[in-house]
């Protein structure tokens, strides 16, 4: 028995088939709005939220995070979530500028993967972190003489003043590196096009793997205009995650365990090398003993045997009778001598 399907039923069926896969995707994937033409100065898979827009002009390609209006906020998101599985480190560098009247500035934010779905440009909460109770943030403020600070879940944990943010409107470049083995994050800041500074402007110890406990997170650059009408812009951004194999001992190892392994390894090496050394030593010992025995035998031979040996002379000796006779010598003078 078959039932006829009306046009409305067909339309409803098609609508369900089309919409259902959308709801099967993660919330963060629904919020992503990738750029139509990703510029080369930004990583792939970036997305814009809030008041952030892409500016493409003859002079520059950039992302303006906030509108020239009060209480404007925007987010530039790296669209690929990741986890701080032990051991996971990251490095990022970006170029940005802060307008003169901007009071809050710009921040590098690490939050849970559902953070983009809750981001709103209309909230009064700085950087769109309304309702977030767990996040990591590095702020670049221009409140007093330029301030760079580390904020963990809303609490400022470390800060440094007299950063070069006082040069408002000028492009600045920042390098942020997190090392999982030392559980330390370092922030460097310099002018656009300058070399990476050797010493960090700010260093802070933190265990991000312990903070997130394997939870999926996203990273982004956010700005909030506050009560000003100026904006902040990002001109380039690169973000890289590094996972070091456990065999490289990126985490601190037990010194006692390392000592035991070292001793065992040394014992194995000594056993292997001991065989060869034993053979060589045996050969040298046998040679020395043989030489010593030969010397002793020669000495004993000289002491006891040489005394009783008579070496015969060459040829035989016989007794011979010896006699002699008287010989008379007569000298005659010549005739000439007589005449004289």
Residue 148, H or E segment: strand 147-152
Sheet holding 136-141, edge to edge: 46-50, 73-83, 216-224, 105-112, 136-141, 147-152, 155-161
**Spatial distance between the Cα atoms of 128 and 71, rounded to a whole number of angstroms:** 10
Which pLDDT belongs to residue 92? Answer: 93
Block means of pLDDT (10 residues each) for the chain, 340 residues, are 47 40 36 53 84 82 83 85 88 87 76 79 59 77 64 68 60 92 91 88 90 89 77 90 62 46 52 62 80 82 63 52 54 51
- Cβ neighbours around 117 below 10 Å, total: 13
**Spatial distance between the Cα atoms of 197 and 174, rounded to a whole number of angstroms:** 10
Which pLDDT belongs to residue 11? Answer: 45
- Give rounded-to-5 percent helix, strand, coil for the chain: 30, 30, 40
Which pLDDT belongs to residue 183? Answer: 92
**Spatial distance between the Cα atoms of 181 and 291, rounded to a whole number of angstroms:** 61
Which pLDDT belongs to residue 240? Answer: 92
Q: What is the DSSP letter of 253?
A: P
Q: 215 is written with which tokens? A: 């939870």
Which residues, 6+ apart, have CB-to-CB distance to 244 below 8 Å?
87, 89, 180, 181, 250
**Spatial distance between the Cα atoms of 249 and 283, rounded to a whole number of angstroms:** 44
Which pLDDT belongs to residue 91? Answer: 94
Q: Can you say whether the dihedral through the CA atoms of 269, 270, 275, 278 is positive or negative?
A: positive
CATH number assigned to the domain covering 23-248: 2.60.120.200
Task: Give residue limits of the domains in the chain.
Answer: 23-248, 258-290
**Spatial distance between the Cα atoms of 167 and 142, rounded to a whole number of angstroms:** 10
Q: Which residue has the tokens 């940005």?
A: 96
Give the residue from 206, 189, 191 showing the smallest Cα distance to 150.
Answer: 206
Which pLDDT belongs to residue 49? Answer: 87
């Amino acid at each position: 028995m078959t039932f006829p399907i009306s046009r409305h039923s067909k339309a409803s069926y098609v609508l369900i088939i089309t919409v259902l896969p959308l709801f099967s995707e993660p919330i963060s994937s629904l919020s992503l709005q990738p750029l139509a033409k990703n510029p080369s100065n930004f990583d792939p898979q970036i997305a814009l939220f809030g008041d952030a827009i892409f500016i493409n002009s003859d002079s520059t390609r950039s992302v303006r995070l906030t509108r020239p209006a009060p209480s404007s906020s925007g987010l530039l998101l790296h669209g690929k979530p990741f986890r701080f599985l032990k051991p996971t480190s990251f490095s990022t560098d970006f170029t940005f500028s802060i307008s003169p009247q901007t009071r809050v500035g710009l921040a590098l934010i690490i939050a849970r993967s559902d953070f983009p779905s809750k981001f709103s440009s209309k909230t009064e909460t700085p950087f769109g972190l309304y309702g977030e109770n767990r996040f990591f943030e590095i702020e670049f403020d221009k409140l007093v003489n330029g301030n760079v600070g580390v904020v963990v879940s809303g609490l400022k944990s470390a800060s440094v003043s007299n950063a070069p943010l006082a040069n408002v409107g000028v492009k600045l470049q920042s390098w942020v590196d997190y090392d999982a083995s030392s559980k330390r994050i370092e922030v460097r800041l310099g002018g656009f096009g300058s070399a990476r500074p050797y010493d960090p402007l700010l260093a802070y110890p933190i265990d991000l793997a312990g903070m997130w406990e394997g939870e999926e997170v996203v990273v982004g650059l956010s700005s909030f205009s506050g009560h000003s009408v100026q904006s902040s812009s990002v001109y380039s951004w690169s973000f890289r995650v590094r996972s070091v194999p456990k065999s490289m001992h990126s985490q601190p190892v037990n010194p006692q365990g390392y000592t035991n392994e070292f001793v065992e390894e040394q014992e194995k090496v000594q056993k292997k090398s001991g065989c060869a050394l034993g053979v060589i030593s045996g050969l040298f010992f046998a040679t020395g003993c043989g030489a010593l025995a030969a010397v002793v035998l020669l000495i004993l031979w000289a002491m006891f045997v040489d005394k009783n040996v008579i070496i015969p002379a060459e040829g035989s000796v016989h007794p011979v009778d010896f006699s002699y006779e008287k010989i008379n010598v007569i000298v005659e003078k010549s005739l000439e001598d007589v005449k004289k």
